[in-house]
Amino acid sequence: ERFGILESKRSFRYQPGRVSGFTYGIRMNNDPSSLSSYIEWGCSNQTDEYMFQIRGIQLSIIRRSVIPLPTSLLERMGLEEDDQRLVYPIGLGNSEPLWETVIPSSKFTGDPLNGEGDSGYSLNLKNVTMFKIEFSWYGAIGAKFYAYVPSGNGDCRWVLMHTLVIENGLEQPILKNPDFKFKYL
């Protein structure tokens, strides 16, 4: 098994009362014939991660945290209990398992960017695309995942792909630590 990690040296602090965000530009080209080969990009720390992932040709959103999502929140997002499991993620420098929720594009609450969503746009994994993750630390707010896609001749716009619907569903903040680093794996 081989992997490489590109990560920022500094973390970016959450500002209380504000939504924080990270924006990424990435060419998502991956080996479409292999499910064991994948790429991820997003924000990460030792207790929490919000990531985009390409495995084969499947685009997914990944949430990893020491704080599990209750079954009621998973169901609210069209997910099942089996969509969340305990894992030991690569490159976090800890031995504690995290709860991993895998959200395939077929279960996005917004536009799956497969040509059938509101934007009518299909992601091309060989093109450089901008992505954005917005989050807030408190348990009353979830996270939003966007892509910057063409909307006309010479025009682009942010398209909401998925929202983690957390509102009033947890008894604690959704993140243990809101200070994230940029991470490419």
Starting at the edge strand found earlier in the chain, the sheet holding 48-55 runs: 6-7, 181-184, 38-44, 48-55, 58-65, 98-104, 84-87
Q: Find out whether 59 and 123 touch, Cβ atoms under 8 Å.
A: yes
Q: What is the pLDDT of residues 46-86, one digit of tens each?
A: 888 999 998 888 899 999 988 888 898 899 888 999 999 99
Q: Which amino acid is at 61?
A: I
Cβ contacts of 75 within 8 Å, gap of 6 or more: none
Using the predicted structure, report yes or no on whether residue 104 has a pLDDT greater than 90: yes
Q: Find out whether 38 and 44 touch, Cβ atoms under 8 Å.
A: no
Using the predicted structure, report yes or no on whether residue 40 has a pLDDT greater than 70: yes
Q: What is the mean pLDDT of residues 153-180?
A: 82
Compare 35 and 59 and report the one with higher pLDDT: 59
Q: Find out whether 115 and 122 touch, Cβ atoms under 8 Å.
A: yes
Q: Which amino acid is at 69?
A: L
pLDDT at residue 7, rounded to an integer: 76
Q: How far is CA 139 from CA 115, 116, 143, 169, 173, in A?
A: 33, 32, 11, 7, 4
Q: What is the mean pLDDT of residues 162-177?
A: 78
pLDDT at residue 91, rounded to an integer: 62
Q: Find out whether 91 and 77 touch, Cβ atoms under 8 Å.
A: no
Among candidate residues 45, 3, 89, the one with its CA nearest the CA of residue 183: 45
pLDDT band (50, 70, 90) for residue 94: low
Q: What is the pLDDT of residues 5-19, one digit of tens each?
A: 777 777 766 677 777
Q: What is the pLDDT of residues 120-163, one digit of tens each?
A: 999 887 788 899 999 877 656 688 999 998 877 778 899 999 99
Does the pTM surpass 0.95? The reply is: no
pLDDT band (50, 70, 90) for residue 92: low
